[in-house]
Structure 1
Amino acid sequence: MESSNRSWVDIGVNLTDSSFDKDRNDVIERAFAQGVKTLIITGTSLSESLEAIELCQKYPGHLFCTVGVHPHYAKDHTDSDYLNIPALCKEECVVACGETGLDFNRNFSEPTQQINAFEKQLEIAHETNLPLFLHERDAHKKQIEMLRSHRDDITAAVAHCFTGSKTELYNYLDLDLHIGITGWICDERRGQELQQLAREIPDNRLLLETDAPYLIPRDIRPKPKSRRNLPEYLPHIADKVASLRKQDLDALQQMVTDNSIKFFNLPATA
């Protein structure tokens, strides 16, 4: 993959994942070399949010993070744990609350635990005036219900790694949410519906992400030896999105970068 003069923002990278333990700094530097100059690390638990903050402090101005509790880990956190999140949100590198939401597909945590965790983080987003970084799987009805009841209290929210239906897309757009697109859109098997919906996302609501190390784009050629997704693949995802939306790649780059800066309140140099 050739180096690019374009500068990209990857809004969702799981850099605290153990799969990066042996080469985390190299992964970051390779992303920079491919023009992905700004990475937002996803916080999925209290401990991983702390790790994300520490990592961001090593790359000021380039790495930022979210702070929150993923629905999978709701069972691992007590109500008192959520009292610590607002203090973490005051760190300069923290740009969103989450990853939060509901996942009734696997139910690693009971639905009642997930709902409680989501409610707590909706309240934290209101208290801290930070946008929400949302996860949802097989729980759209309940998630939309909760978002609607809190929409006037939160500044903004992004449906991270959106893979849903047209109805679900417009439910989010009707609430003025942003939509995060990953390498799922490069999947010729599972991504067909998302490919058809790509042009229906308003210009000012589109954000791009890799969700690395998950969801490696299936159409990368030559095929990587590892199945681990990397933030350096974001330009590949962008190229696919630009093609589907019939947009010039440079115009798309400027558009999604401006969206990211505004949504996460990033430095204008991002």
Structure 2
Amino acid sequence: MNNYIDIGINLTNRQFEGDIDDIIQDALDEEVLQMILTGTSVRNSQASAQLAKQYPDVLYSTAGIHPHDAKSMTNESIPALRKLLQMKQVVSVGECGLDFDRDFSPRPIQEKCYKAHLALATEVQKPLFLHERAAFSRFVSITKEHLPKLPQGVVHCFTGTLTEAKAYLDMGFYLGFTGAISDVKRFSHLKEVLTYVPLDKIMIETDAPFMLPKNVPTGSLKKYHERRNEPAFLPYVAGTIAQFKGISLDKVAEATTANAKQFFNLNVK
């Protein structure tokens, strides 16, 4: 029996409204025994923490402001996140970082918001759940300024180049991989990345309801939700990694679960 941990799901997304109990049970049935809800704004982080509280030792959450929402940050935001991070079910600072691909928030505001998260993580010493898209050079520059005092970090939903992966590994970070790795048309380069990245630096996530793995059988998709990703599909991410690295699924499950337990300081199940 393989046990899995999904380090990133958006369970407060409206696509899951009215479905949460079933989503969690379906995940448990597929041996996805623990899941971490991603906080993307103060309000969303609060909602995620409350939801995680209802499923102790199964659901956990992060607390942060996604770069898309950086423009929502006020003087009250960091104190509100700090309060959330005092809760035992809130295990990580983030999602935070830079996204220069869509620029939903102005870049200077994104940078200010990210720096505030780095300072907060240094203060509370809980690990970082990081987001970087089309902002590699600036992201690395800012992060390195804080690096000596930072706790551990994971660059989630990694789809970057091998050169970028090596840079993050050199900084001591983990890499989180989603169903994007099974998209051989759009992300064919990730096979080379995964072949290189050591297993002890890999974690897995669905980023549900987004990033549906291409290798999920059609019969497993629920009627009316043919494009919705779910934490129950996490084993398909692990299976792709096993295929790319030429190792057993058991090894991928064991390593990624151990990595996540240590990184997020989760209760052992």
Q: Which residue of 2 aligns with 1:10?
A: 6
Q: Which residue of 1 aligns with 2:54?
A: 58
Deviations 1:117-162 (A, max 9, x none): 1000000000100110001111000100111111111110000000
Q: Which residue of 2 aligns with 1:100?
A: 96
Q: Which residue of 2 aligns with 1:114?
A: 110
Q: Which residue of 2 aligns with 1:266?
A: 266
Q: Which residue of 2 aligns with 1:34?
A: 30
Q: Which residue of 2 aligns with 1:46?
A: 42
Q: Which residue of 2 aligns with 1:219?
A: 215
Which whole-Å CA distance do the structure 1 matches of 2:48 and 2:137 have between them? Answer: 31
Which whole-Å CA distance do the structure 1 matches of 2:196 and 2:209 have between them? Answer: 27
Matched pairs, number:
265
Structure 1 runs of 4+ with >4 Å offset = none
Match of 2:79 among 69, 80, 83: 83
Query: Residue 22 of structure 1: CA displacement?
Result: 2.3
Contact 2:63 2:94 in 1 (8 A): yes
- Structure 2 letter corresponding to 1:14: N
Q: Which residue of 1 aligns with 2:137?
A: 141
Percent identity for Structure 1 against Structure 2: 37
More displaced, 135-144 or 79-88? 79-88
Q: Which residue of 1 aligns with 2:162?
A: 166
- Gaps of at least 5 residues in structure 1 are none
Deviations 1:93-126 (A, max 9, x none): 0110000000011111000110011000000000
Query: Residue 222 of structure 1: CA displacement?
Result: 2.6
Query: Residue 82 of structure 1: CA displacement?
Result: 1.3
Query: Residue 87 of structure 1: CA displacement?
Result: 1.3
Contact 2:162 2:192 in 1 (8 A): no
Query: Residue 183 of structure 1: CA displacement?
Result: 0.2
Q: Secondary structure at the match of 1:227?
A: coil
TM-score, length basis structure 1: 0.96
Which whole-Å CA distance do the structure 2 matches of 1:24 and 1:105 have between them? Answer: 31
TM-score, length basis structure 2: 0.96
Which whole-Å CA distance do the structure 2 matches of 1:171 and 1:110 have between them? Answer: 26
Q: Does 1:239 align with 2:235?
A: no
Which whole-Å CA distance do the structure 1 matches of 2:186 and 2:20 have between them? Answer: 29
Which whole-Å CA distance do the structure 1 matches of 2:214 and 2:238 have between them? Answer: 14
Q: Which residue of 2 aligns with 1:150?
A: 146
Which whole-Å CA distance do the structure 2 matches of 1:105 and 1:137 have between them? Answer: 6
Q: Secondary structure at the match of 2:97?
A: strand
Q: Secondary structure at the match of 2:263?
A: helix
Which whole-Å CA distance do the structure 2 matches of 1:144 and 1:77 have between them? Answer: 22
- Structure 2 letter corresponding to 1:180: G
Q: Which residue of 2 aligns with 1:125?
A: 121
More displaced, 195-204 or 64-73? 195-204
Which whole-Å CA distance do the structure 2 matches of 1:142 and 1:263 have between them? Answer: 25
- Gaps of at least 5 residues in structure 2 are none
Query: Residue 209 of structure 1: CA displacement?
Result: 0.4
Which whole-Å CA distance do the structure 1 matches of 2:262 and 2:15 have between them? Answer: 31
Which whole-Å CA distance do the structure 2 matches of 1:196 and 1:110 have between them? Answer: 33
Which whole-Å CA distance do the structure 2 matches of 1:21 and 1:255 have between them? Answer: 32
Query: Residue 80 of structure 1: CA displacement?
Result: 2.5
Deviations 1:220-270 (A, max 9, x none): 22363510111000001111111101111111111111100111011121x
- Structure 1 letter corresponding to 2:140: I
Q: Which residue of 2 aligns with 1:229?
A: 229
Q: Does 1:175 align with 2:171?
A: yes
- Structure 2 letter corresponding to 1:198: L
Contact 2:215 2:236 in 1 (8 A): no
Deviations 1:173-232 (A, max 9, x none): 110100000000010211200112111111211000000000101222236351011100
Q: Secondary structure at the match of 1:72?
A: helix
- Structure 2 letter corresponding to 1:136: E
